[in-house]
Structure 1
Amino acid sequence: MERRAFIMVEGHRGSGPLFMQGAERMGLHPITLSADPARFDYLSVVGAEAIRVDTNNLDALIRECSRLHSKYGIAGITGFAGDDESIYATVGKLCRYFDLPGPNPASVDQCRDKFVQRQLLAEAGVPMPAYRLALDAKDVERSAAEIGLPVIIKPAEGSGSLGVRLCRNSDELEEHTTYLLSGKHIWRSSPRILVEEFAQGPHYLAAMMGNEVIGFGVAEYGPPPHFVFRELTFPAQLTDDQRELAADISLRCLRALGLGWGPTNIELRWTRRGPVVIEVNPRLAGAPEPQLIELAYGVHLISEYIKLISGQEWKLRKSRSYTAVARTLMPERDGTLDWIDGDWRAAAVSGVAEVRILVESKRPIVRRGDHGDRLGYVIAAAPTLADTKGILQHAVGLIKWSITPFSTLEK
């Protein structure tokens, strides 16, 4: 008898292989539907089934899934956002059409629109930074003046820190507004810009499944004005009172936004007036967060999520108490990546759980200040934070690379 199909709409270079491995372990047949399967190199490496289909066309997806359903039977459907979170709403619609467990597409859509999300959270009394919606450059300037510099400027829709920037003065404000509105930023709908107060303080991440808080991580970012994480740690070192307050606020977010099915990750800043919500994402966070949660707590989040999607019993029982840290490898300049080496040496260090190189030699490196800048990452875990940091420092130091600046090549 054919194994039932586990459908993944689009892919993810970090989490995609983990989902495929998890589905295989559970006796399911993973199938990726993508507008361009060649974008995901892991599909050819593992020999997975991939089908080309217009993933922006719901009717086309329904037709393809109907064909697969008649051939295999569908155990579940999920998807990956990349820079287009509308995929999650599409997944919710597919799940409803085929009567499968899945997210509420209306709830996903109102989270995807960050201005609507802000409005709903404000109505529920959830603490947030001050914010304004701007439709043109004059709106941006006026909103920034009302809130007071510095401010965060970002698209009202999007993910992966695309188009997000800290503007500390009027010159930076004008420069980034021009960038967003001049056609350089890719908009999937009419341009709408969020102008937000810069909430200063440690940046925490709440990892949730259903109505349960799995744990809190803490993220450290590279230098401003961009927001690309350099290091992510689970669990965050919070007091019991801090953890209780952050959990209460996170659960209030779920109620305000009509969430509570499946995974959610919530970003908070702990400011002088307490925690404020930066963003609610109605989806599983991308790698390396699932790996960190497994290493820190013993919860195999992706496997439990696959169980949920396929209608099986799932549980989040913790069986481990470690500190897990991921450190990102970031390029120091733009140019051509001549070579990158040492990952195998880093992977051999005791306590290192994973080393992932995300780029190939001879490719151009152009830093844009978003998640696409990463060269790779290293994950380590140990009983204490100090031990983990020591392991990570040693392992990262073994990885070397060379980038030839573009200006040198042009001479």
Structure 2
Amino acid sequence: MAKRALILVEGHARTGLRYVQAARSLGLHPITLSADPARYDYLAAESIETIRVDTDNLDALIHECSRLAGTYEIAGITGFAGDDESIYATVGKLCRHFDLPGPNPASVERCCDKFTQRQLLAEAGVPIPAYRLAANASEVESSAAEIGLPVILKPAVGSGSIGVRLCRTFEEVAEHTTYLFSEKHIWRSSPRILVEEFVQGPHYIAQIMGNEIIAIGAADYGPPPHFVFHSGFQPAPLTDDEHERIADVSLSGLRVLGLGWGPSNIELRWTKLGPVVIEVNPRLLGGTGPQLVQLAYGVDLVTEHIKLVAGYEWDLRKKHSHIVAVRVLVPDRDGILDWIEGDSRAAAVPGVVEVKLCVEPNMPIVRKGDYRDRMGHVIAVSPERARTEAILQRAVDLISWSISPVRTW
């Protein structure tokens, strides 16, 4: 009997290994297709079967999967976005071609274009920030004037907060517009800028599987003008009414966009008028998001996603209820990392479940104002919110580092 294989299109620095491990635990053989396998350290470390292929070329992917089908029984196909969410639409097209379970590629493509997403949500009456689409500097300036400062400028297509900035003055609008239209920003599609109203209020993220809200967490970000994730709680401290309203708005957005297969996550802010949808993402939440859900409720979203992809019956029932918190370690300056220490002491604090560093001494630190700024994280869990907060703070206080300025002579 042929071995059942799970095809993973590209990899992921933080969740890729978890997918590989979960696939193996389900008796599946993981195979990664990647344009640059060297980007993912775990592939070699775990001896993952890996094939180099242009993952932007659907025909090349179909050819490779067809070739693999001669050796393996392909149980399912899924993938990871990195900084290019179009990979999810590609995965959907591959699944359609091979008659395997997968997302609707047309729905994913509509969702990944932030302007199209907002048009559809607005037409259906889902609350979103005021927005305009701009193709040049003049249109950006006039859009900012129409909406009213401050505004957020962001690429119409992208993820990970790359290129997203809060602009409080027209000088800042002009400066960031120049940056986005310059060669410094890498565009995955035609250069278009979304100009948005700056909606203020507590930030929440709903994690969804199919049409079921699995968890709603709270998120905090570092100081403006950028939106670098700094800390989070699972579950968010919500009243029953607030939870219900966020769930209703989230599921409405999902229906409008034609999603509802597999994982998705929806970012919202709670305003004076209630929940406002900031963004709908047709994928599993990145970073530590799935891990926090597993710690809080005992639901392993990675494993359950693979079950769905492979045609198994999933189990989304909550096993327990804990309070989980994460703090991301973010540098406050650019330079060279002299040293970073205290992670082993932090990991020994009772209630700390993970301390992970992704930097090493002598590494250059260049802040980009997005998810790439993270130097590591600490996760704590307990039955009570105040206790979890205290555990997390105690652990974070044990970690310190030194960054020296880069010499220019």
TM-score (norm 2): 0.98
SS at match of 1:308: helix
Partner of 2:46: 46
Partner of 2:386: 386
SS at match of 1:293: helix
Partner of 1:329: 329
Partner of 2:357: 357
Identity between Structure 1 and Structure 2 (%): 68
Q: How far apart are 1:365 and its partner, in Å? A: 1.1
Structure 1 residues 237-293: Cα deviation after superposition (integer angstroms, max 9, x where no partner): 111111111111111111100000001100001011111100000100112000000
Structure 1 residues 154-206: Cα deviation after superposition (integer angstroms, max 9, x where no partner): 00000000000000111111110110112211112221000000000000001
Partner of 1:371: 371
SS at match of 2:69: helix
Is 2:75 aligned against 1:75? yes
Q: How far apart are 1:2 and its partner, in Å? A: 4.9
SS at match of 2:102: coil
Q: How far apart are 1:108 and its partner, in Å? A: 0.4
SS at match of 1:70: coil
- Taking the TM superposition and a 5 Å limit, the aligned residue runs for 1:150-189 are 150-189=150-189
Alpha-carbon distance between aligned partners in 2 of 1:48 and 1:403, rounded to the nearest angstrom: 36
Q: How far apart are 1:390 and its partner, in Å? A: 1.0
Alpha-carbon distance between aligned partners in 2 of 1:276 and 1:230, rounded to the nearest angstrom: 21
Q: How far apart are 1:226 and its partner, in Å? A: 0.3
- Taking the TM superposition and a 5 Å limit, the aligned residue runs for 1:240-259 are 240-259=240-259
Alpha-carbon distance between aligned partners in 1 of 2:130 and 2:109, rounded to the nearest angstrom: 22
Alpha-carbon distance between aligned partners in 1 of 2:248 and 2:332, rounded to the nearest angstrom: 40
Partner of 2:103: 103
Alpha-carbon distance between aligned partners in 1 of 2:19 and 2:50, rounded to the nearest angstrom: 14
SS at match of 1:218: strand
Alpha-carbon distance between aligned partners in 2 of 1:84 and 1:338, rounded to the nearest angstrom: 32
TM-score (norm 1): 0.97
Structure 1 residues 347-406: Cα deviation after superposition (integer angstroms, max 9, x where no partner): 222111112212233221110100000001111111111111111111122222222211
SS at match of 2:284: coil
Partner of 1:397: 397
Instruction: Name the stretch that deviates more: 4-13 or 159-168.
Output: 4-13
Partner of 1:342: 342
Partner of 1:126: 126
Partner of 2:12: 12
Alpha-carbon distance between aligned partners in 1 of 2:359 and 2:159, rounded to the nearest angstrom: 20
Alpha-carbon distance between aligned partners in 2 of 1:78 and 1:340, rounded to the nearest angstrom: 36
Q: How far apart are 1:49 and its partner, in Å? A: 1.7
Which runs of 5 or more structure 1 residues have no equivalent in the other structure? none
Q: How far apart are 1:83 and its partner, in Å? A: 0.7
Instruction: Name the stretch that deviates more: 308-317 or 394-403.
Output: 394-403
Partner of 1:217: 217
The one-letter code sitting in structure 1 at the alignment partner of 2:171 is D
Alpha-carbon distance between aligned partners in 1 of 2:7 and 2:70, rounded to the nearest angstrom: 14
Structure 1 residues 40-98: Cα deviation after superposition (integer angstroms, max 9, x where no partner): 11212222222111111111111111121211111111111111001000000111111
Alpha-carbon distance between aligned partners in 1 of 2:7 and 2:378, rounded to the nearest angstrom: 29
SS at match of 2:361: coil
- Taking the TM superposition and a 5 Å limit, the aligned residue runs for 1:15-94 are 15-94=15-94
Which runs of 5 or more structure 2 residues have no equivalent in the other structure? none
Alpha-carbon distance between aligned partners in 1 of 2:99 and 2:354, rounded to the nearest angstrom: 37
* Equivalent pairs, count: 409
Q: Which runs of 4+ in 1 moved over 4 A?
A: none
